[in-house]
Structure 1
């Protein structure tokens, strides 16, 4: 028992050390996002501007308060939320490559957003952030429902990923069909949305994102104990008093709302939901949700903050799609971790 307690304490210390290291990296990336850009400022100037409040009328202050700061905060929140969504789906499907993008959830969100933008609103109408969140959430939930229906008939877990990919292709095909009959402005709006970007973030957007992501993040942390039991199998979870059916429903709702929030405000962002949970688990040296949940959020936040910095500054003034940058860095990470895990076995 003493050995087990010592092992648990060692894992806790490792998790705390990893979280602190990632937090320091996140702070450095956040400051870099505020300093670098077409209007370059030093960290001392940024500190002075932030201390002076948003009333400063200088160009540098307006750029930081109205453009860079809300964008950086949104990237942190949405990156952390997407990572948590991927962690929940990987736990739910017991599959290391499950995430909202791979399972077609992002494509489903895009389809419903396209329906509302092109069919319901029509030409000349602007889609509000609240309508984007509601549409993306509905699309995420419908797509997740299809995948769950298929999961009842398919016993091989790897086939669920194939089913999710197929559902994603169907949603993309229907979306392309709608685009063929849309007006030019709707096509431009949908194309800009679907590229994946944190640009254009406002303080109103940040307030909505913070309310959603922080509430769902707290829910994930509160579910740490039943999630830990669920990881050991449904029979074990039931034997220790976990309502498995209710837990599965909560996992679906929380992961769908998180992925919907990301899709609504940043568009489809790939590979963060796969790569960040893998990095977090590897960093803390454990799969226990109590340790992995905060590490997941911080890792996803740092990953998206760094990728957004690259997307914004690498070929400035041309801005890359953040989804393209996350794929460039996320895909090799997943491949390397899987090959390392296979070699270890």
Structure 2
């Protein structure tokens, strides 16, 4: 018991140190370097005519905060879907949830751009939420006929391909001015964020996190079997509905602001559970949030600085590191 407690404390300490280090690197590194003293001075100053203030508060700080919040949200969404489907390979990107959200957001953005109207952050999230729910609804309908998890995962991948094809079809008819903004978003990116958007994302993710506080213990009971959970008074049907809604809301928030970000929702929860040697929601949920934030902060830093001034698409980096983890997971499961 003592050994398990030390392991848990060590994992949380490691994740926290990595998070702080990467957050500093995301603020300090770039075409213009900020030393710790300079960064502290700028953060204390807040306003001024110094161009460094604009670089920090209008570009780097919102971007780093979004990578932190959205990366954590994506990992938590992945863990919820993995628990729902009882499969560690399930995730928003793999099951087509992110692609459905992407299609809905792209459609709304094109409609509003055609009318020269702006689309609010909450409207974008709502559209993404509906798109993700529709994708999951189709997948759940398929699951009534396809009982094998391998077939269900293939169905999720096919739904993702269909939604991606439909999105690309819509983009081919977009005006040139629309394509520029939609293309970078559709590849996944934390660039172009504002502090107002950060606040909106933080509110939505905070609401989801608050709801998960009340679901952690019932979720642990469901992991031990539906019959066992029902014997403890857990309403399993309501519980599973809550999992789908929260997983969709978190994935939709990520997609609405940053576009589809691949493999974070699968790789992060798997690595966290491997490090913790536990799948208890009270431990895995906060650790997954930290792990997803670390993953996305590191990926965004690489995408932004590795080949500067050229910037890589975020999903290119997350796929490069996340796909081998998923392959390893598949081989591991096949071995068992």
TM-score, normalising length from structure 2? 0.95
| 1:339 Cα deviation from its structure 2 partner | 4.1
Aligned CA RMSD, in angstroms, stands at 1.7
The structure 2 residue matched to 1:214, chosen from 198, 203, 206, is 206
1:251 aligns with 2:243: yes
Q: Paired residues, what number?
A: 336
1:34-45 matches, cutoff 5 A: 34-45=27-38
Residue of structure 1 equivalent to 2:10 = 17
| 1:98 Cα deviation from its structure 2 partner | 0.7
Residue of structure 2 equivalent to 1:26 = 19
| 1:102 Cα deviation from its structure 2 partner | 0.8
Q: Is the partner of 2:319 in helix, strand or coil? A: helix
Contact 1:15-1:295 at 8 Å conserved across structures: no
1:129 aligns with 2:92: no
Question: Relative to structure 1, is the Cα distance of residues 51 and 263 closer, same or farther in structure 2, using a 3 angstrom cutoff?
Answer: same
Question: Relative to structure 1, is the Cα distance of residues 173 and 334 closer, same or farther in structure 2, using a 3 angstrom cutoff?
Answer: closer
1:158 aligns with 2:150: yes
1:96 aligns with 2:88: yes
CA distance in 2, matches of 1:101, 1:291: 23
CA distance in 1, matches of 2:27, 2:166: 39
CA distance in 2, matches of 1:154, 1:238: 25
Q: What are structure 1's unaligned runs of at least 5 residues?
A: 1-6
Residue by residue over 1:115-151, the C-alpha shift from the partner in whole angstroms, topping out at 9 and shown as x without a partner, is: 2122454264443322211111111111111111111
Q: What are structure 2's unaligned runs of at least 5 residues?
A: none
1:42-191 matches, cutoff 5 A: 42-52=35-45, 54-119=46-111, 121-122=113-114, 124-191=116-183
Name whichever of 186-195 and 222-231 sits farther off: 186-195
TM-score, normalising length from structure 1? 0.92
CA distance in 1, matches of 2:220, 2:322: 26
| 1:50 Cα deviation from its structure 2 partner | 1.2
Residue by residue over 1:267-309, the C-alpha shift from the partner in whole angstroms, topping out at 9 and shown as x without a partner, is: 0000100110011101111111111111101000011001110
